[in-house]
Structure 1
């Protein structure tokens, strides 16, 4: 079985208010790329990776007249994808939803949100003391993780969670001290969300269930200066000794020389591109005996992608993130 996670930059902007796909020469939200080019590129990448299920991060919007699942299924039909059915969870107000696009001939997936005293439902409120002042703070997800009960055609059950954690930029802060204070407060909230997510993972692991966490965690060991202040990245907290992802684990190794990345961004100030590892497919120990193989479809770091000019260009035009796939044996 092949699973994938793919953050598709502003996928929502390729659809009109009634979820009709717009493939024309108008600009997409992807800098310097029109809607026709981005849409064709996304379709090419998804056909090429040919996953049984894709966790789509920044999926099309759900709103007054829009439905994430309807837009994705229309796109799948247009692109000729075998992963042609979609499921989503709690909508958010960012126009960046989380959804699973999957092949119904291989597996079934339903939204199955859980809630416990230790880890409330993800569209609710998590109470935790963020700043050690003996008072509980209220934490919410701007993009509630998608909890899925997945069953393969062979009867194997998986608990799958799609996530998009994000530490907000210091909007409104003007001075250096204000920027630092707001950035630290926002990082605290992101780490609290990671704790919340980890607790749910721990509950499933304790019940002996196969757990897979997929998505964009916007963080990783060594990513920024605030990690030294808090001691751990949100990625390390989510994994918490219960999940495995060799790409994430490679960053924690001392003197790592060849570091993976899943994204590529342009800095207009320095006029240079920079790379980051933000996207993960994490699996519980119970799945490590299933011959798991991870792959980052990076146009400049994956030799096959680089040699395939059409695929290389499609990856660059589709998004500023690149897909991560996991192949493993499952009935």
Structure 2
């Protein structure tokens, strides 16, 4: 049983208003890649990944008459993928949905959000992810009201060969990038504000994780955290990264999620090489920046079934590098690479 998470850059731009794939020679939203080339690359990657269920971060949006599920299922038909059924949770307005693409022969999935419905008034007690979270992040004795621009996808999964239901939380945590900054001081202000909101979202998510772990439920937390230990200078202001908060890095083992790539990132020194799951070209500096942003965290009981995690990095995985077609497809398809885990059933 293989579970995966994959952030597909500008997947939304590869479909028309009806949700049909745009396999033509026009430029995609990715730099110097046509829509046909990106679609073909994605077909190769998804075929090689061969996951029973894959969380797609930045899935095509739901905007009538287009439906996210129809777009993804049409994509799956185009390339004959066995993961051919799609599930979405709460829709958002960012053109980047969170969706699950899965094989209905091995996985049953349903959207199953939990938590208090709050509306705008909010709650301090891990409300439903489409609600409002109240938390004081800057010790000013005033509560901040926090919302997700991309509410996490909560699903109950039934996996073939595993008797207990598995809870899935699919996430795309807020970016820290200072978009819209007009000066260096403005960039600093926006970066700190974004970091505060990101940490609030991570705390909200962690409280939900603790609820599931306290009940002894099997849990998967997957997606793009836009964060990790030591990724920016603002982390020192707040003490830890959002990834460490969600993982429960300072908690006893039964209340800690398991992800070996995250563990390595937390343990590594300055001179130690780290796993990476994303690769961005910095045009001004004419170089690539690599980072570990994508995680697949498992509850301890479920982690005992894990046969191995894998980041499908074309340069760091020798088996992938030896396959030129897959290597080039991974580079053309997205600026992130899939992360997978195999479970023994």
TM-score (norm 1): 0.97
Aligned counterpart, 1:151: 158
Choose which of 222, 234, 246 in structure 1 pairs with 2:242: 234
Pairing 1:253–2:267 present: yes
Provide the secondary structure at the position in 2 that maps to 1:198. helix
Distance in 2 (alpha carbons) for counterparts of 1:290 and 1:22: 40
Provide the secondary structure at the position in 1 that maps to 2:187. helix
Distance in 2 (alpha carbons) for counterparts of 1:222 and 1:176: 21
Choose which of 257, 273, 278 in structure 2 pairs with 1:263: 278
1:104-183 aligned at under 5 Å gives the runs 104-116=104-116, 118-154=125-161, 155-183=163-191
Provide the secondary structure at the position in 2 that maps to 1:42. helix
Mapped contact 2:164–2:218 kept (Cα < 8 A): no
Distance in 1 (alpha carbons) for counterparts of 2:293 and 2:211: 25
Choose which of 204, 210, 225 in structure 2 pairs with 1:217: 225
Measured after TM superposition, the shift of residue 181 of structure 1 is 1.7
Mapped contact 1:167–1:189 kept (Cα < 8 A): no
Choose which of 249, 273, 288 in structure 2 pairs with 1:273: 288
Measured after TM superposition, the shift of residue 42 of structure 1 is 0.3
Change in 2 beyond 3 A, CA 1:172/1:311: closer
Measured after TM superposition, the shift of residue 172 of structure 1 is 4.3
Change in 2 beyond 3 A, CA 1:211/1:172: same
- CA RMSD, Structure 1 to Structure 2 (Å): 1.2
Aligned counterpart, 1:10: 10
Q: How many residues align?
A: 330
Pairing 1:61–2:66 present: no
Distance in 2 (alpha carbons) for counterparts of 1:26 and 1:254: 43
Aligned counterpart, 2:119: none
Mapped contact 2:174–2:197 kept (Cα < 8 A): no
Provide the secondary structure at the position in 1 that maps to 2:306. coil
Distance in 2 (alpha carbons) for counterparts of 1:229 and 1:202: 25
Aligned counterpart, 1:302: 317
Aligned counterpart, 2:31: 31
What are the superposed Cα offsets for residues 69-111 of structure 1, whole Å, 9 maximum, x if unpaired?
Answer: 1100010011100000010000111100000000011010000
Aligned counterpart, 2:300: 285
Provide the secondary structure at the position in 2 that maps to 1:244. coil
Distance in 1 (alpha carbons) for counterparts of 2:307 and 2:200: 29
Mapped contact 2:309–2:342 kept (Cα < 8 A): yes
Provide the secondary structure at the position in 2 that maps to 1:147. strand
Provide the secondary structure at the position in 1 that maps to 2:56. strand
Provide the secondary structure at the position in 2 that maps to 1:252. helix
Mapped contact 2:7–2:224 kept (Cα < 8 A): yes
Greater shift, 256-265 or 320-329, is seen at 256-265
Distance in 2 (alpha carbons) for counterparts of 1:216 and 1:267: 20
Aligned counterpart, 2:120: none
Choose which of 193, 197, 201 in structure 2 pairs with 1:189: 197
What are the superposed Cα offsets for residues 44-82 of structure 1, whole Å, 9 maximum, x if unpaired?
Answer: 100001010010000011012111111000100111000
Distance in 2 (alpha carbons) for counterparts of 1:73 and 1:176: 44
Choose which of 210, 232, 235 in structure 2 pairs with 1:202: 210
